[in-house]
Amino acid sequence: MSLVKKFATVGGATLGSRIFGFARETLMAAALGTGPMADVFYAAFRFPNLFRRLFAEGAFNAAFVPLFAKEIEANGTDGAKRFSEEVFGVLFSVLLLITIVMELAMPLLVRFVIAPGFADDPEKFSITIRMAAVMFPYLMCMSLTAMMSGMLNSLHHFFAAAIAPVFLNVVMIGALFYALHTGADPLTTAWYLSFGVLAAGVLQLAVVYVGVLAAGMSIGFRFPKMTPNVKRLLILAVPAAVTGGITQINQLIGQAIASSREGAIAALQYADRIYQLPLGVVGVAVGVVLLPELARALKGGNLREAGNLQNRSIEFVLFLTIPAAFALWILSDEIIRVLYERGAFHQENTAVVGSILAIYGIGLPAFVLIKALQPGFYAREDTKTPMRFSAIAVATNCATALTLFPYMGAPGIAVAEATAGWISTVLLFTTLLRRGHLTWEWALAKRTALLIVAAAVMGGAIVFLKQHFAPSLASGAPLLTKIGTLGLLIAIAMLVYFAAAFLIGGANLGMIRRNLNRKPAPAKDG
């Protein structure tokens, strides 16, 4: 299967999850708006979500996958099974301990980490503590899910791991429908959602476990033991956990700062959900597929193949995210108006969330490129270098957010996150290039410049069409009219971009064939 076809498999499943996520956020906007219960729920949910990224996706996509791939290459399926059982025993025990400690420390965590601004409001503070305590076991479920997903990805069974996140959105949508149907107040609705998160974690774990069984593997529980393989995993996983959760860390910092102003946390979350669509579909797909592919190429000594994989992934990312960045910048208000502006979500909310989304659009290519560049380090079992770069990005994000928030409000936090994303991208790219792990291609650099030109042409077309379609996109227009008009505008924009890109040479059939028909290198280099 070619690289792009694998991207499509993971990206298609992720797209399904993100579409359900849109439906969920639309219902939440109608039910909670940007009111105090929206702030409370998102603040409580952010913490287990952060630890999911730190201990699950970051650590295991970066550390577990290369070691698991090495076991498959060296000792076959039996060796990989033994390794996974050793890891499962240690992981389960550590997660259980972390969960117990965090549950007991939740009042302190909410006061000093999750939402310091809630400390002056006893009701919000108390509810946040209780909701965070209900949702925190979600971490345990999702960390075990991430481990099994890493096994599936290494075995080239991508679909079950990619489709599992859909179930979180399905369960939460069910909770929201029930709340809206019964006329539940915002507090009751937030409680339904909290218990829904916990139930969804159990369901996702069950889905990937069935996928592992279907892939011909099984996992038995072994008494926790620090074997050489487990020690190596931990050495790689600790810095990878920090690096893999960099976006969540930056968002947690932003949330802590935003908690001092009512509605700011919810506004950031609603905008975040929109840009997570291209980030998830392209970025997650590239990161999930590229890491095991790179690890296997390097373990097999195919250095030329590894370099080609890295460059083709960057090419694929830029081809799709550059126009998405332009579109999010120009159409931010219209997108927010169509998706959210109803019920408790008003025109004033649209203006704030739209400005945040526009800024996230500027950072989008960087956020996705990080997913394409980090595997270049992880596949070589280097997790410390990206961690150092993450520390620089976090420091930049924190300083910028603290500086801008008093003057700009929530959009200032978005500026800080986008700035940190671009700094991370530049550091990762230049380091790979300097070490010779990334091959500079002038043809790729030229195509990138031409893709920016094509996206600018598309942006001009959108600005022109926006003026023409303004009445159909206004707040007072019927919902179906707004949806249809926005869909038409996006479709025309895509046609203009692809036509311009192919016409001026930013993309060509050779590029498409290279990505669709990539074959593994038969010989070793070096």
Most confident among 104-118, 136-150, 318-332 (mean pLDDT)? 318-332
Instruction: Calculate mean pLDDT across residues 41-51.
Output: 77
Instruction: Map tokens 């069974």 to a residue.
Output: 157
* Token pair belonging to 167: 């179930």
What confidence score (pLDDT) does residue 239 get? 75
pTM of the model: 0.69
Distance CA 328, CA 326 (A): 6
Q: Which residue has the higher pLDDT, 156 or 132?
A: 132
**DSSP run (H or E) holding 291:** helix 285-299
Distance CA 294, CA 310 (A): 8
* Token pair belonging to 91: 């992981």
Most confident among 160-164, 296-300, 419-423, 522-526 (mean pLDDT)? 419-423
What confidence score (pLDDT) does residue 519 get? 47
What's the pLDDT tens digit per position in 497-514? 999 998 988 777 665 555
Distance CA 474, CA 470 (A): 6
Residues 139, 98 contacting (CB under 8 angstroms)? yes
Average pLDDT over the chain, rounded to an integer: 82
Apex 332 CA angle, 331 and 335, nearest 5: 80
Q: Which residue has the higher pLDDT, 177 or 52?
A: 177
Q: Which residue has the higher pLDDT, 332 or 296?
A: 332
Q: Which of 176-180, 259-263, 346-350, 520-524 has the lowest mean pLDDT?
A: 520-524
> What is the Cα Rg of the chain in Å?
23
Beta-ladder partners of 525: 302
Residues 100, 108 contacting (CB under 8 angstroms)? no
Most confident among 227-231, 293-297, 318-322, 424-428 (mean pLDDT)? 424-428
Residues 405, 457 contacting (CB under 8 angstroms)? no
Most confident among 145-159, 340-354, 385-399 (mean pLDDT)? 385-399
First to last CA, the chain: 26
Residues 150, 68 contacting (CB under 8 angstroms)? yes
Contacts of 451 (CB under 8 A, 6+ apart): 318, 319, 322, 323, 501, 506, 507
What's the pLDDT tens digit per position in 399-437? 998 899 888 888 999 999 899 999 999 999 999 999 888
Q: Which residue has the higher pLDDT, 217 or 456?
A: 456
What confidence score (pLDDT) does residue 518 get? 47
* Token pair belonging to 325: 């960045």
DSSP reduced 3-state for 302: strand
